[in-house]
Structure formats: structure tokens, C-alpha cells
Amino acid sequence: MLSEMSACEPSRDCGLCPRLAAFRNTWRAAEPGWHNAPVASFVAPEGDRSVEMLVVGLAPGLRGANRTGRPFPGDYAGDLLYKTLKEHDFAQGDYRADPADGLRLKRCAITNAVRCVPPENKPVGAEITACRTFLTATIERFENLKAILTLGRIAHDSTLRALGLRPGDAPFSHGGAHDAGRLRIFSSYHCSRYNTNTGRLTEAMFNDVVGALARHVSEA
């Protein structure tokens, strides 16, 4: 399947990051049944104008979004993210870590700061910068956006830069909230298995951040 690059989405064979393109090609050969391409944003079926909040993750997991083609399913992080979104009425339906599960987002969209799976889950600075062109266009795409949930420092800093700010203007902290024009940015530690296993992030802590964001969206 061929796909054209748009302002918001890299093409299937995007070559902006040679290291990520090479990694992708290795996995296309090893696992031809997987998605193995940039992972597009996942948007509520009611369309762009319905989107009031945007989740910005880090990058697709190798056996998660890179396999399924949808941000987060198949990664442990997806279990916690989608469960919490459902609790705050940002999603409905069954979540089975399968893009055909019928899960629907409500009033929200999910994207990643880096659209291709990076080796060891670690994109380098040049890759984060190169992919920001798509993040910037994605934020601009949603004219009724009120809030952004950034998952981890890399997503937070890249979102700030996409909005024309510097990381020092609104330093990352778990539970932090910063206004950027019409948007309020809510920051959380990434909901990764590593962070929850080590106790850095508990379900209650994550729920509190998404709850604060949900209140803001309903009041703004």
C-alpha cells in the first residue's frame, strides 16, 4: 500500500530519518504482516472538528503501534491509556489491543511526537525535530482543540516547540498544566510499563491528570 505524505502524516516510506527508515525496513523483512510504517494519528470518528483534546505520546512501540498501525494498542501503555480515556468519556467500546476492536475515541485524538518506531524506544534529537513538522500540522488541524495531554518529557518538549515555545517556558513536571494561547497543556509521566512497574506513575496519578484535563475541557 502506498500513501502520500500530507502536512499531518508522513508517507509510508518517509525518508526524513535514515536510521528509522532502515529499522523499519529490517522489520518489514522480518515481519511482513505487521504495519511497519509511520503510524497515523487516531481521531474520533466524528471528525477533526469534534476534537477538543489531543494526546501526544512518544513513538510507536515495536510490537505495539508499529505492529497494529494504531497509536498505543498492543503496548502495555495502551491498556492504561485507553482505560483512563474511557473513564473520562474520551473513548467508548471494547479495547482489545487490535485496531478492529471497535474502540472509538470521543472528542479526542491520539498522535506521537515521532511517528516511526525507534530502536530501543529511543528517538534521537534529529528525529524528534524532523518529525515535529507533522506534530505542528496535527495540532493546527484541530480547530476546536482546547487541551493537549503530553506523555513524558520528550512529547512535552516537542509539543512546546511545535507551539513556538521553548522547553524552559513551561518545564515538564508530572501533573503540570501550562497555558499556550487557546490551549492548556497537561503533562504526565509516560504511561509506560517501565514507569508503572517502578512506581514512578500509578494508575491513580495518571487518572488525576486526565481528570483535571477533562474538567478543563468541559469548562473551557
Q: Tell me which residues touch ligand URA (CB under 6 A).
A: 57-61, 64-65, 71-72, 75, 77, 112, 151
Q: Please report how close the Cβ of residue 69 comes to ligand URA at its closest, in angstroms.
A: 10
- Smallest Cα–Cα separation from 135: which of 111, 166, 106, 171? 111
The residue sitting closest to ligand URA, measured at its beta carbon, is 57
Residue with cell 491528570: 209
Q: Between residues 184 and 190, which has the closer beta carbon with respect to ligand URA?
A: 190
d(CA 125, CA 122): 10
Q: Please report how close the Cβ of residue 186 comes to ligand URA at its closest, in angstroms.
A: 16
Backbone angles phi, psi at 183, to 5 degrees: -105, 145
Q: Between residues 38 and 61, which has the closer beta carbon with respect to ligand URA?
A: 61
Q: Please report how close the Cβ of residue 67 comes to ligand URA at its closest, in angstroms.
A: 10
Q: Between residues 151 and 185, which has the closer beta carbon with respect to ligand URA?
A: 151
Q: Between residues 144 and 197, which has the closer beta carbon with respect to ligand URA?
A: 197
